Amino acid sequence: MSALSENLLERWIAVAGAGSARIGAGVIGRYAEPHRRYHTEAHLAVVLTTIDELSAAAADVSAVRYAAFFHDAIYAVARADNEERSAELGRDVLESLGAAPELVNEVSRLVVLTRGHDPEAGDANGAVLCDADLVVLAGTAREYTAYAAAVRAEYAAVPDDLFRAGRASVLRKLATQPRLFRTELAHHRYEERARANLAAELADLTGVSP
């Protein structure tokens, strides 16, 4: 097990308890599947670290952390229901651990929410999770270029014209939201840089300057 995997397992145990280590290792191991280039253990670690930074804004930070572990646990580029399937996996795992129904339902809801990253006003847990999942958008120019390249690598089998059109559609939906980041801290730290990165990638994908 790599140092990163061990760190993630320690984080899982901190939320779920030592008795869940084997199950947690199985969940984390999904992020090391060979077809992944961006949705990896490194991405999960960044999401969890950002949740730590935004934790004061959450209503139930444990639910948000559980949701982070499950949000990309099932990831197949050829399917459109990854979030729903990941939510079901989360439900099955948490029920097997004897989690309260309220927690199970909240984690499942949060995982599905990462499909569109558009939590409703007042959804504190959703805001923290979505902000953490989108923090990659606010990287430096070099970091963002590496992120975009990793996403493209995951879709290597998709012809370039189809990928560019699909990726541009996803980015436009994000860019048209009034706020990318819903918590005040993340909005202050990341909004401007993220919008600049989105605009630059859209221009590259479409040939149209922002």
DSSP of 1-31: --HHHHHHHHHHHHHH-GGGHHHHHHHHHGG
pLDDT tens-digit readout, 144-194: 999 999 999 999 999 999 999 999 999 999 999 999 999 999 999 999 999
> Looking at residues 121-137, what average pLDDT do you find?
98
Cα separation, 49 vs 121, in Å, equals: 24
- Average pLDDT score over residue span 72-98: 96
Average pLDDT score over residue span 109-122: 97
Distance CA 194, CA 200 (A): 10
Distance of CA 99 to the CA centre of its chain: 22
**Termini Cα distance of the chain:** 44
Is residue 210 scored above 70 in pLDDT? no
Report pLDDT digits (tens) over 56-78.
999 999 999 999 999 999 999 98
Band of residue 208 on the pLDDT scale cut at 50, 70, 90 = confident
pLDDT recorded at residue 2? 93
Question: What is the CA 38 to chain-centroid distance, rounded?
Answer: 10
What average pLDDT score do residues 94-112 get?
98
In a 3-state reduction of DSSP, which class is residue 149? helix
∠ CA 167-173-176, rounded to 5°: 135
Q: What is the CA radius of gyration of the chain?
A: 17
Helix (H), strand (E) at residue 164: helix 160-175
pTM over 0.75: yes
Please give the pLDDT value at position 14.
98
Distance CA 36, CA 173 (A): 24
* Predicted pLDDT at 125: 98
Q: What integer pLDDT is reported at residue 209 of this predicted model?
A: 59
The label of the residue with tokens 């308890």 reads 17
Residue range 8-49, pLDDT digits in tens: 999 999 999 999 999 999 999 999 999 999 999 999 999 999
> Which tokens is 203 given?
């221009």
> What number is the average pLDDT over the span 106-122?
97
Q: How confident is the model at residue 100 (pLDDT cuts 50, 70, 90)?
A: very high
* Mean pLDDT confidence for 3-12: 98
